[in-house]
Structure 1
């Protein structure tokens, strides 16, 4: 029902405009085209009825949104519209009026927007009024150029009855089915949103847990060294404090990520701001890594969508690259390039390492699923890829011609 109310709220202006057009049509037919369509204007009370209708429509137009947002308000408005149509038809020819089928318009609106009792009520009223007008038509008005038009008017009446039945049954059933489908889609959208938040929260948690594994493993080794060598206690304690500070930082980031994901918050930052924060994180958490930045001043001013999961995802790529470089060259060196995409609607952050590269057989799998490997490759990349996708981006792995691996992060730019 809420989806119907929302639709009705959004369509209130269109409904009000449609009702105003009905009044304009009546005025045109009454004062300009009465002879053209053979209308019998046999009462001066018609002018009074049109003035009352104009005042009524102006009042309901002013109150259209609160009035049309409730079933009872909309039904009363349609009921009065039907009575005003009946009044105009009665004073302009009754059952002989060629525009009597316009009585179906309120029935159609009620069939789409209101419960099934509403269109049935309007259909009963309209059919009753039409029947009374038909069977009270004077005999002289049943003649047209000497021909008896009773069978023609009776056919019009039967056609009106059938049309009103179709509107109150078929159209109402279709509208009910559409409302049910809309409600189901709304529930599915809400469920999908909850699943996305849970997935994002799980991704951020797994990302932090994965990055905390290294300092925790270092702590275990340092504790073992303390047990074996009492002379190295001072150095070992400093290293332990560094590892603990890394864990504290990761936990703080996890809390921030949890809060932002729960609230569905996104920020927009410049690439220069992102790179500054990224450099500080790498210096604080991984001081042994040599990170070389090659951004341009122009690209640094571009803005992207940002949440708490983006920075850990980029840090994970740098950490993997540094590990690969260290295994190949003995130096944990990583170069970070920045450039715009081909069409200028995205930014590409490329993380290049100087390792032995990734086999071609694994390039298409890493980042998309967990890959069995003695080095445990795949988990961090998969989590990073999930974080980039949540921000509308993607991760593409490739090999550099000079050796090593290039991880390209494509992120959409803010366009407005």
Structure 2
């Protein structure tokens, strides 16, 4: 499932990148329209070079019309394939070839702007399409040399910059270099952004696979732990009725604490099996958001050595929901990390922000190290220095992400850390008629 999801997301990333690159070509084409119009005007009226200006302006109008249609078509994001980019570049080559044919052919100093199209093709297209474009531009160059009428310019290269031909070549080189730097930089940025997104998707798939493997391992371990925990519970119950323990209040108190911890272990095992779809007689319970949070906090406080704990539930308008063991365990993991970092005090605040439930857990501990914040939510990123450390936050991030939420962490200015969990209400609540009416 993770691989299939990443494949679909990767296709979406490629579509976005292709659309951005098509928009870059549209921008470049508008620059070409304006640049060609200025060049024609300067050559015809400034240098008094005889040009078929009506035909050239007609080609320019066709290029502008094509760009208007392209702008309208690609205004909203759509799938842009390599073939469509090739067709767009091919139209640019055709329009440029027509202009060169009307203005001197191979003797036109701007003929080297073909290299701009070829370079863009090398960046945007597949190797096969790029070589096809190379063959087409070379053929166009050769055809212009054979069939186009030479431009009436004195090829006095010895005149240096005073030569009109050398001046045209200089403008062509400057224009070619500037456009290549601008648009190759932009397109390269689009491709780097795509690669970064794909790398993130691959990392996400690896993390989701890791979560699946951990779930299978936890489910198997829960099965194995069920029998010894039941045996311990029976033995402790027998000990509690024995005279030596009943006669010693301290031993009896320790025995009661042991029974409570064994019961907590059994509850954890049941929660693991419930999350794996293998509940031992329990079923999901219909509740509300406020009741779910209140019960979660009450159970957590009763089973942890909490010294000072602040709880503020500001979720105003209560909504029905089904108690979700994964969400419950996620919040408990964050609370466990907070109380371990700050045994003296921690706080949980719940509120509604728009269409989301926001749970904020704060503590007064040492806070997160900068390198931990940079790798927040990655497995085994922990300052606890023990095997398996960091898995609590890793699981919390993945559970939240699975239902469309997020987990964000930062350090408090006065000391300590804050972990903010945002869960979309649409993913955890339901309309009452969905249960009772269907």
TM-score, structure 1 as length reference = 0.54
Q: Do the aligned partners of 2:339 and 2:346 also contact (CA within 8 Å) in 1? A: no
Q: Do the aligned partners of 1:350 and 1:409 also contact (CA within 8 Å) in 2? A: yes
| Structure 1 residue corresponding to 2:110, chosen from 94, 99, 102 | 99
Q: Is residue 293 from structure 1 mapped to residue 313 from structure 2 by the alignment?
A: no
Q: Do the aligned partners of 1:292 and 1:336 also contact (CA within 8 Å) in 2? A: yes
Partner of 2:270: 248
Per-residue displacement from partner, 1:84-105 (whole Å, max 9, x unpaired)?
A: 2122223234444443333333
Offset of 1:10 from its aligned partner? 1.8
Distance 2:51 2:107 in 1: 12
Q: Is residue 58 from structure 1 mapped to residue 68 from structure 2 by the alignment?
A: yes
Distance 1:54 1:311 in 2: 58
Offset of 1:74 from its aligned partner? 2.8
Partner of 1:410: 418
Q: Is residue 30 from structure 1 mapped to residue 40 from structure 2 by the alignment?
A: yes
Partner of 1:221: 232
Distance 1:242 1:413 in 2: 25
Per-residue displacement from partner, 1:363-405 (whole Å, max 9, x unpaired)?
A: xx9853327xxxxxxx6x6543545677444899xxxxxxxxx
Partner of 2:298: 280
Q: Do the aligned partners of 1:211 and 1:316 also contact (CA within 8 Å) in 2? A: no
Offset of 1:153 from its aligned partner? 6.7
Q: More deviation in 23-32 or 185-194?
A: 185-194
Once the two structures are superposed, the pairs formed by residues 333-344 of structure 1 within 5 Å of their partners are 336-337=346-347
For the residue of structure 1 that corresponds to 2:29, the secondary structure is helix
Over 3 Å counting, the alpha-carbon distance change for 1:307 and 1:395 in structure 2 is farther
Distance 2:37 2:14 in 1: 32
For the residue of structure 2 that corresponds to 1:99, the secondary structure is helix
Per-residue displacement from partner, 1:58-107 (whole Å, max 9, x unpaired)?
A: 33433448998233333233223222212222323444444333333322
| Structure 2 residue corresponding to 1:46, chosen from 56, 76, 99 | 56
Distance 2:263 2:136 in 1: 79
| Structure 2 residue corresponding to 1:117, chosen from 120, 131, 153 | 131
CA RMSD, 1 decimal: 6.1
Equivalent residue pairs, number = 333
Offset of 1:183 from its aligned partner? 9.0
| Structure 2 residue corresponding to 1:137, chosen from 130, 150, 165 | 150
Over 3 Å counting, the alpha-carbon distance change for 1:105 and 1:288 in structure 2 is closer
Structure 2: where are the runs of 5+ without partners?
1-9, 177-183, 244-255, 279-288, 317-325, 350-358, 366-380, 399-406, 423-438
Offset of 1:47 from its aligned partner? 3.6
Over 3 Å counting, the alpha-carbon distance change for 1:124 and 1:292 in structure 2 is same
Partner of 1:17: 27
Partner of 2:386: 370
| Structure 2 residue corresponding to 1:384, chosen from 367, 378, 392 | 392
Q: Do the aligned partners of 2:409 and 2:417 also contact (CA within 8 Å) in 1? A: yes
Distance 2:164 2:139 in 1: 22
Distance 2:61 2:20 in 1: 28
Once the two structures are superposed, the pairs formed by residues 161-200 of structure 1 within 5 Å of their partners are 188-200=199-211
For the residue of structure 2 that corresponds to 1:35, the secondary structure is helix
Distance 1:313 1:350 in 2: 14
Q: Do the aligned partners of 1:111 and 1:118 also contact (CA within 8 Å) in 2? A: no
| Structure 1 residue corresponding to 2:86, chosen from 75, 78, 84 | 75
For the residue of structure 1 that corresponds to 2:44, the secondary structure is coil
Offset of 1:119 from its aligned partner? 2.9
Offset of 1:113 from its aligned partner? 1.3
Distance 1:277 1:247 in 2: 19
Over 3 Å counting, the alpha-carbon distance change for 1:311 and 1:129 in structure 2 is same
Distance 1:242 1:307 in 2: 18
Over 3 Å counting, the alpha-carbon distance change for 1:128 and 1:198 in structure 2 is same
Distance 1:319 1:254 in 2: 27
For the residue of structure 2 that corresponds to 1:349, the secondary structure is strand
Larger Rg belongs to: 1
